[in-house]
């Protein structure tokens, strides 16, 4: 959910906040997440399997 803190699975010391979620409207499921780290928006998109709850 937007505003939740998440941890990057491949880097346990990297925690970010979900800014926006890209949806697959036909399947009604999230396909990627935009994050911010320390208040700065990341240019990378993350898939659900790359994230875990912080």
Q: What is the pTM (predicted TM-score) of this model?
A: 0.85
**Six token digits for residue 37:** 């780290």
User: pLDDT, tens digit, for every residue of 1-53?
Assistant: 999 999 999 987 899 999 999 998 898 888 999 999 999 999 999 999 999 99
Give the whole-angstrom CA distance, residue 47 versus residue 31.
Answer: 6
The whole-number pLDDT of residue 12 equals: 74
Query: What is the three-state SS of 1-54?
Result: CCCCEEEECCEEEEEEEEEEEEEECCCCEEEEEEEEECCEEEEEEECHHHEEEC
pLDDT value, residue 30: 86
- Residue 3's pLDDT is 97
pLDDT score recorded for residue 32: 95
């Amino acid at each position: 959910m937007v505003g939740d803190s998440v941890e990057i699975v491949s880097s346990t010391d990297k925690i970010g906040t979900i800014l926006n979620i890209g949806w697959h409207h036909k399947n009604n499921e999230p396909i990627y997440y935009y994050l911010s780290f320390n208040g700065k928006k990341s240019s990378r998109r993350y898939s659900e399997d790359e994230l875990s709850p912080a």
